Amino acid sequence: MAKRIIISGGGTGGHIFPAIAIAHAVKRLAPDTQFLFVGANGRMEMDKVPAAGYEIVGLDIQGIDRKSIWKNLTLPFKLYKSISKARQIVRDFKPDVAVGVGGYASGPLLHTAAQMGIPCLIQEQNSYAGVTNKRLGKKVNKICVAFDGMERFFPKEKILFTGNPIRRESVEIYNKRFEAAELLSLSPHRKTVLLTGGSLGARTLNECMLAGLDKLVNAEAQVIWQCGAYYYDELNRVVADRYKDQVKLTAFLHRMDLAYAAADIIIARAGAGTIAELCVVGKPAILVPSPNVAEDHQTKNALALVTKNAALMVSDAEAPQKLIDTALNLLNDRKQGAILEANIKQLAILDADEVIAREVLKLAGEHHTKK
């Protein structure tokens, strides 16, 4: 009889892509498995998950709004409503296991599933555990982590070091540089900077790149610039005609493999999913941690690489003064680039999705036999 698995969470690509990677890996190991994703209404998972071929239902849940106290007044009601709906979802779907990847929907669903006796697994992507996962840690059966020292947040006996699941198709870059250059309308012979602000874009990175484009172009570098949909129209008005031969501006990179293949160096935020991909891609990287995340966890993610001389870091506050010069220095310093490349490659974990998938199926199998 087919196993039934609920996967819950989302909000950003950093939560959604690992969730989809885990589902794909489970499917490879047990093709008849049935899935149901649970997300937050209005968030990007409600589009991305169906696009990946999976059914999703939404909870009317939000996070704490740190800028507006008034918007938080409805939070207790939304939480109560979400827990009630989560209970109904679990009753109707009858899962053998529930998987949480972080994000707003993960808390109510996993809390409810654990209360109802469903085996639960959470996947913590970051080096500093989120509030939701820390609370769930006491209730779940297994906690899959990607960084050392996570016993600070979770019961040691429940922790399994797996690394972060990655989009395999995004890191398959071997022998693709010329194909990438052709499809992106760039030269395969020019030094290339890839700047990616994550699925939503990053204001600081965009402002730094806009201010530094002349410097990069004058140094005969070319740029692949993923800016996010919110910023695209405004930036495109500036970039389209003036820099069209040396700058490829895009709201979202649908072929991340080509962008990675074309790049000589990569500038990125320090989300856990991005870092996991960068380790496998093995290119010199400059990380600019976002200051707008809980517990400043992106800085902690970045430092996990910086302390091993596997990446450079520029703080968000210093980026306007330092980022473009740091990028130009790295482009021209082959020795430093080679050291960063060698060290970041040593941190690569390619099969995290399958390791987690086997744990999920193990928990599901144990529950299945008890039915």
Residues annotated within the binding site for UDP-N-acetyl-alpha-D-glucosamine are: 12-14, 126, 167, 199, 298
Contact criterion met (CB below 8 Å) for 250 and 226 = yes
Residues annotated within the binding site are: 12-14, 126, 167, 199, 298
CA 62, 66, 69 angle in degrees (round to 5)? 85
Contact criterion met (CB below 8 Å) for 274 and 198 = yes
Residue 312 CB partners (closer than 8 Å, separation 6+)? 284, 285, 286, 287, 306, 326, 330, 340
Distance of CA 272 to the CA centre of its chain: 6
Q: Where are the beta strands (DSSP E) in 44-183?
A: 56-59, 97-100, 120-124, 142-145, 159-161
Contact criterion met (CB below 8 Å) for 105 and 133 = no
Contact criterion met (CB below 8 Å) for 150 and 129 = yes
Q: Where are the beta strands (DSSP E) in 114-246?
A: 120-124, 142-145, 159-161, 192-196, 222-226
Contact criterion met (CB below 8 Å) for 103 and 48 = no
Contact criterion met (CB below 8 Å) for 123 and 18 = yes
Q: What is the rounded distance in angstroms from the CA atom of residue 253 to the CA atom of residue 277? A: 14
